[in-house]
Amino acid sequence: MYECSLERMTDKITTFSKFGDAGHGGITRYTLSPEDIEARQEFQKRMEAIGAIIEVDDVANMYATLPGSDPNAKRIVMASHSDSVMNGGNYDGILGVMSAMEVLETVADQKIEHKHPLTAMIWTNEEGSLYPPAMMVSGIVCYDYLPDAIKEKFKYEDMMKSVSMVDGEDTFGAALERSGYKGDKKYRLCPDNYKAMFEVHIEQGPILEDAGNSVGVVDCVKGMFNYRFHFYGQTVHAGTFPMPKRQDALFAASQTICYLHEEIDKLGYSDLVYTTGEIVCHPNIHTCVPDHVDFCIDVRHEDHGVLDQVLAIVKSCAGKEWAGCRCEVKKMWNRDTVYFDEELFGYCKEAAAETGYKWQVLHSGAGHDAQFANYVLPSTMLFVQSKDGFSHCEPEYSTPEHCTEGATIMLNAVLKADKA
């Protein structure tokens, strides 16, 4: 068993936390922004220092590769993203990049023999927080292998036209041209040149901390669906119109949300999660009764059968009258549970067991680049404990010790894949 360096990992965490430092403990590092480019330059500098070869593909993904003993062997890649959400933390995404770098640095430092070339990779625009959607660039690169219902959201031409959430004018395509990181399509991750992908990520939930475990070996990304509810009422004056005669679309929506919670909770699945995180109210004026309200519901569980039960409850809301308002329910999208490669999952479990660290098997509730990569080549993930389960916010934190343990497990799992 080989071990990564706590000291070197801590130094990377401190250094990368400066790129996009928002001044109160977290970062804002939009993809291909000057801050992201600083992170990319640091990645390149540190990887070139250990003799890795740098390549950049046409959608700004960066690859740093240490050659192996067999020049014809396919590469084993470790990857995550360098971008963040607005006022995000110092770990989401970049921890996977730093872990990949740490593995390469340990291999170089300890002169660990390996047959396959080992690659540390930065995925561009995973968050999609400036140019939506999320997982944009893994969607582009993995496009040919994705299920039809997913791939239609990631057409290259459409992605290049994705408009900035900040100014409503700038596009991802323009940012790519400006960045100096539009490389060559021939370098894209593909099954001809790559054998396997590993991704370390923060857990973004409290399960590991509650169980007292530092690392999660991830078996799948949970299936999910997203439906949109629409309520149609009538706008009248807030001061003049009697309560019994109103058709208040917001009141109807709130009744429905309460109904959904009651009915879905009755199913009794403790690991089922569902969320209404967005609501639109028209005309959204304090003197008007709302005439149109719509909201979404996002539901996630590993088991298709459980999702079907929730879907039946969701669909049952349509057609009924809610506070005198008509209700429509429309499917936005869904995805089946994505199971990671069993062999790689096995190497991670073996490596975790050999280290003596505290670990467990986990499902992923969030989407990650590895989920799309898994359609292209065998892939898997490791999660590192998140303090209080926080992510996408400035208090997001993982201890340097836990981060180093995650990298160590990945290193040993990668070496098992190298030998296989």
The CB-of-81 to Zn ion minimum distance in angstroms stands at 6
The residue (of 36 and 92) whose beta carbon lies closer to Zn ion is 92
Task: Tell me the Ramachandran region of residue 218: left when phi exceeds 0, alpha when psi lies from -120 to 50, beta otherwise.
Answer: beta
Q: Which is nearer to Zn ion, 79 or 323 (CB)?
A: 79
Residue 39 to residues 20, 83, 182, 186, 308: CA-CA distances in angstroms? 9, 9, 16, 24, 43
The count of residues interacting with Zn ion (CB under 5 A) is 2
- Containing 45, the helix (H) or strand (E) segment is helix 34-49
Beta bridge partners of 215: 359, 384
Nearest alpha carbon to residue 298 among 204, 227, 392, 205: 227
Give φ, ψ of 387 to 5 degrees: -60, 130
Residue 379, helix vs strand vs coil? strand
Beta carbon nearer to Zn ion, 125 or 214: 125
* Residue 205 touches Zn ion, criterion: CB under 5 A: no
Nearer Cβ to Zn ion (294/369):
369
Nearest to 96 by CA among 415, 419, 409: 409
- In the complex, least distance from residue 161 CB atom to Zn ion, rounded to whole angstroms: 24
Judged by CB under 5 A, the chain residues 308 through 367 that form the site for Zn ion are: none
Least distance to Zn ion, CB of residue 184, Å: 26
Least spacing, CB of residue 218 vs Zn ion, in Å: 13
Q: What is the nearest approach in angstroms of Zn ion to the Cβ of residue 194?
A: 20
Q: Which residue's C-beta sits nearest to Zn ion?
A: 93
* Contact in structure between 116 and 70 (CB atoms under 8 Å): yes
Comparison of 105 and 127: residue with beta carbon closer to Zn ion: 127
For residues 17 and 314, what is the distance between their CA atoms, to the nearest angstrom?
42
Nearer to Zn ion, 112 or 165 (CB): 165
Q: Which of residues 93-152 bind Zn ion (CB under 5 A)?
A: 93
The minimum distance between CB 196 and Zn ion, in angstroms, equals 20
- Examine residue 395 and say whether the peptide bond preceding it is cis (omega within 30 degrees of 0): no
Proportion of the chain in helix, strand, coil states, percent, rounded to 5? 35, 25, 40
Q: Which is nearer to Zn ion, 218 or 310 (CB)?
A: 218
Residue with tokens 């996630």: 300
Least distance from C-beta 93 to Zn ion, angstroms? 4
Contact code string over 33-72 relative to Zn ion, x by CB under 5 A: ----------------------------------------
Q: Which residue has the tokens 């047959």?
A: 115
- In the bound state with Zn ion, the residue whose beta carbon lies nearer, of 128 and 233, is 128
Specify the residue for token string 């939009």.
Answer: 30
Helix (H) or strand (E) holding 167: none
Nearest distance in Å: CB 97, Zn ion: 10
Residues 83-102: x where in contact with Zn ion by CB under 5 A, - otherwise, as a string: ---------xx---------
- For residues 86 and 13, the answer to whether their CB atoms sit within 8 Å is no
Shortest distance in whole angstroms from residue 39 CB to Zn ion: 14
| Residue pointed to by tokens 């917001």 | 250
CA 1 to mean position of chain CA atoms: 30
> Which of residues 199 and 418 has its CB atom nearest to Zn ion in the complex?
199
User: How far, in Å, CA of 257 to CA of 65, rounded?
Assistant: 50
Q: Which residues bind Zn ion (CB under 5 A)?
A: 92-93
